[in-house]
């Protein structure tokens, strides 16, 4: 039987506010345990929550970024359950009236664009962390993270393959960083995905029973986890067993998923409106103000890159995969004098390649946009050849010099003086009569030999176009 995979995602992204969503404690990552947990975060008797304005603004930003409805009135609710990393015994979240309503993002998989619908996005507080290292058989609780603002983004079950799921997750990941509302740091837990997976016979209308893979914090794990889960579910069904709805954990060491023990019993969260918080009103003026400050969004920018710079779809996709990269690209284009395609080729090919090899992000690039632009400018005005440029690129990577400084210091200026090139060509023709005869006898491959010899004699500095032209003339 042929099976179809159905996937929906719940993404928790920490918002990049300075203070917590309901208290004035810091949200910085990596502090000593419980040093950033104030009375409100600890749920001491009598304390009360007050909502952080910036968390609301960031949620609105996200909503506008996915063309969603922003709720004019939204309400916080208490989600009740007992867990040691949840100090109050309830999480302040949103249920009936989330701040962000229906929206969508478009993803691209194998050259096809697909719209993934977002059901809702709501604000809530993060929980603390349980540390399972051995404290004489006990668990340690660090509540620094408790109260960090989270935006939970819930998709429709619109994805039909792990590839689509990852493309969607990446797209949301790009967007939240793009909008500056999250650092998106997955290793630190700033961006965590719960993946709902089910399978059904192809052509069947109803969904199968889903299992939810909790807390995936890398795209690679997401791929592995979904792959394993899909195979496991199909195997279960094919061997006559039924899938039970469950929450499962992915073990990166084994590549397997397993049902969580602590969530065995059916949860009854007893949501009700939090009486300590009042309805949040968002008026048109605030929405308009945030909208006006919104940066150009990835999809719009990609389309503009294609139109304005004649980039192909792949290059435009890559260059808009992060806001930093897109800005970097446009800076290079501007500073190099509108060498749009050349800039794209160098960034996508050389720069990203080198960064990838070094394990660096574009934001950590040793070569700033201005220095790369300086290099490309010299290619464009024929001061250097592309080959020399690659050599200079390596120097730029390792030093703080500009391309011009390297060119001058190492005498790499390209020779375009036809007289000088012609003189060398004459010498080489004279010294290689055998090859001249071969060429004239019809063996055109030998042409490359002559180019190589000329370049070698001129230490690569000869203008390749000139060399080609003169060689052709003289060999005839």
Partner 1 sequence: MSLSATDVKKIAHLARLGIEDKDVAHYAQDLSGMLDLVAQMNALNTENVSAMAHPLEQHQRLRADVVSEVNLREQFQAIAPQVEAGLYLVPKVIE
Partner 2 sequence: MHTKTITELAKSLRAKEFSSVELTHAYLDRIKQYSELNSFITVTEEQALTAANAADKALSLGNAPLLTGIPIAQKDIFCTYGVKTSCGSKMLDNFIAPYNATVVEKFNQAGAVMLGKLNMDEFAMGSSNETSFYGAVQNPWDINTVAGGSSGGSAAAVAARLAVAVTGTDTGGSIRQPAALCGITGLKPTYGRVSRYGMIAYASSLDQGGPMARNAEDAALLLQAMAGFDPKDSTSVDAPVPDYQESLTNSLAGLKIGLPKQFFSADLNPEIAKTLQAAIAEYQRLGAEVKEISMPMLEYAIPAYYVIASAECSANLSRYDGVRFGYRCDNPQDLTDLYTRSRGEAFGAEVKRRILMGTYALSAGYYDAYYLKAQKVRKLISDDFKRAFSEVDVIMGPVSPSTAFGIGEKIADPIEMYLADIYTIAINLAGLPALSIPAGFVNAMPVGLQIIGNYFDEARLLNVAHQYQQETDWHKQTPKGFE
Cite the DSSP H helix spans in 197-310.
219-238, 284-292, 298-309
Distance from chain centroid for Cα 456 = 43
Evaluate whether 367 touches 330 at the Cβ level (below 8 Å): no
Q: How far is the CB of 85 from partner 2 (least distance, A)?
A: 10
Smallest separation (angstroms) from partner 2 to the CB of 269: 8
Strand partners, 78: 92, 272
Smallest separation, CB 250 to partner 2 (Å): 23
The item of partner 2, partner 1, none sharing an interface with residue 46, based on CB under 5 to 8 Å by kind, is partner 2
Task: Compute CA 18 distance to the chain's CA centroid, rounded to the nearest angstrom.
Answer: 23
Residue 88 binding: pick among partner 2, partner 1, none (C-beta 5-8 Å cut-off by kind) = partner 2
For residue 5, the tally of other CB atoms under 10 A from its CB is: 21
Show Cβ contacts of residue 46 under 8 Å, excluding neighbours closer than 6 positions: none
Would you say 110 and 143 are in contact if contact means Cβ atoms under 8 Å apart? no
Cβ closest to partner 1, residue 263 vs residue 291? 263
Residues that bind partner 1 (CB under 8 A): 17-19, 23-26, 32-39, 42, 44, 50-56, 75, 82-84, 130-132, 135, 137-143, 249, 260-262, 268, 270, 273, 275, 277-281
CA 209 to chain centre: 31
Sequence-ordered alpha helix ranges (H) in 411-463: 418-431, 433-440, 446-457
Question: Among partner 1, partner 2, none, what does residue 288 contact (CB within 5–8 Å per kind)?
Answer: none
Least spacing, CB of residue 49 vs partner 2, in Å? 7
**Site residues (vs partner 2, CB under 8 A):** 39, 42-51, 78, 80, 82, 84, 87-90, 141, 268, 270-272, 275-278
Closer to partner 1 by CB, 46 or 137: give it: 137
CB nearer to partner 2: give 271 or 449: 271
What backbone torsions phi and psi does residue 270 show, to the nearest 5 degrees? 45, 50
Q: Name which of 84 and 353 has its Cβ closer to partner 2.
A: 84
Contacts for 401 with CB less than 8 Å, ≥ 6 apart: 395, 409
- Closest distance of CB 61 from partner 2, Å: 23
Name, in order, each residue with C-beta under 8 angstroms of 329's C-beta and a sequence gap of 6 or more.
305, 319, 343, 344, 347
Instruction: Report the residue number, 40 or 388, with the smaller CB distance to partner 1.
Output: 40
- Rounded to the nearest whole angstrom, what is the least distance from the CB of residue 13 to partner 1 in the complex? 17
* Cα–Cα distance, 276 to 265 (Å, whole number): 29
Decide the pairing of beta strands 246-251 and 191-201. Answer: unpaired
Nearest distance, CB of residue 89 and partner 2, angstroms: 2
CB-nearer residue toward partner 2: 271 or 324: 271
Q: What's the length of the chain?
A: 476
Considering CB distances under 5 to 8 angstroms, the limit depending on partner class, which of partner 2, partner 1, none binds residue 17? Answer: partner 1
Residue 132 binding target from partner 1, partner 2, none, CB below 5 to 8 Å by type: partner 1
Which residue lies nearer to partner 1 by CB, 246 or 420? Answer: 246
**Phi, psi (rounded to 5 degrees) for 74:** -130, 155
């Amino acid at each position: 039987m042929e099976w179809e995979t159905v996937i929906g995602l719940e993404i928790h992204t920490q918002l990049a506010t300075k203070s917590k969503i309901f208290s004035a404690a810091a949200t910085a990552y990596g502090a000593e345990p419980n040093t950033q947990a104030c009375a409100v975060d600890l749920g001491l008797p009598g304390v009360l929550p007050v909502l952080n304005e910036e968390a609301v603004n960031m949620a609105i930003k996200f909503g506008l970024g996915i063309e969603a409805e922003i709720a004019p009135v939204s309400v916080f609710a208490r989600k009740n359950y007992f867990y040691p990393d949840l100090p109050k015994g309830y999480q302040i979240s949103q249920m009936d009236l989330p701040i962000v309503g229906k929206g969508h993002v478009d993803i691209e998989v194998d050259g096809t664009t697909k719209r993934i619908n977002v059901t809702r996005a709501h604000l809530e507080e993060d929980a603390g962390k349980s540390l399972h290292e051995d404290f004489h058989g006990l668990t340690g609780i660090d509540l620094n993270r408790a109260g960090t603002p989270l935006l939970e983004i819930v998709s429709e079950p619109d994805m039909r393959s792990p590839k689509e799921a990852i493309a969607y997750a990446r797209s949301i990941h790009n967007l939240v960083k793009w909008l500056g509302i999250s650092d998106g740091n997955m290793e630190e837990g700033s961006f965590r995905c719960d993946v709902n997976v089910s399978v059904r016979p192809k052509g069947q209308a109803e969904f199968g029973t889903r299992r939810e893979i909790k807390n995936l914090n890398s795209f690679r794990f997401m791929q592995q986890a979904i792959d394993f889960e899909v195979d496991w579910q199909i195997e279960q069904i094919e061997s006559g067993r039924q899938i039970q709805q469950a929450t499962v954990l992915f073990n990166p060491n084994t590549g397997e998923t397993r049902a969580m023990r602590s969530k065995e019993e059916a949860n009854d969260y007893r949501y009700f409106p939090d009486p300590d918080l009042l309805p949040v009103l968002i008026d048109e003026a605030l929405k308009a103000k945030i909208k006006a400050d919104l940066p150009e969004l990835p999809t719009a920018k990609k389309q503009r890159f294609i139109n304005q710079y004649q980039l192909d779809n792949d290059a435009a996709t890559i260059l808009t995969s992060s806001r930093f990269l897109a800005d970097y690209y446009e800076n290079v284009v501007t500073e190099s004098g509108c060498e749009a395609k050349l800039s794209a080729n160098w960034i996508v090919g050389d720069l990203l390649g080198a960064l990838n090899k070094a394990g660096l992000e574009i934001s950590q690039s040793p070569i700033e946009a201005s220095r790369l632009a300086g290099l490309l400018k010299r290619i464009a005005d024929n001061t250097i050849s592309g080959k020399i440029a690659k050599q200079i690129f390596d120097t730029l990577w390792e030093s703080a010099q500009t391309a011009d400084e390297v060119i001058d210091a190492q005498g790499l200026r390209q020779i375009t003086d036809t007289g000088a090139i012609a003189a060398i060509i004459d010498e080489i023709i004279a010294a290689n009569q055998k090859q001249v005869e071969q060429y004239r006898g019809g063996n055109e491959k030998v042409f490359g030999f002559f180019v190589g010899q000329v370049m070698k004699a001129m230490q690569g500095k000869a203008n390749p176009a000139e060399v080609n032209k003169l060689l052709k003339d003289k060999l005839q």
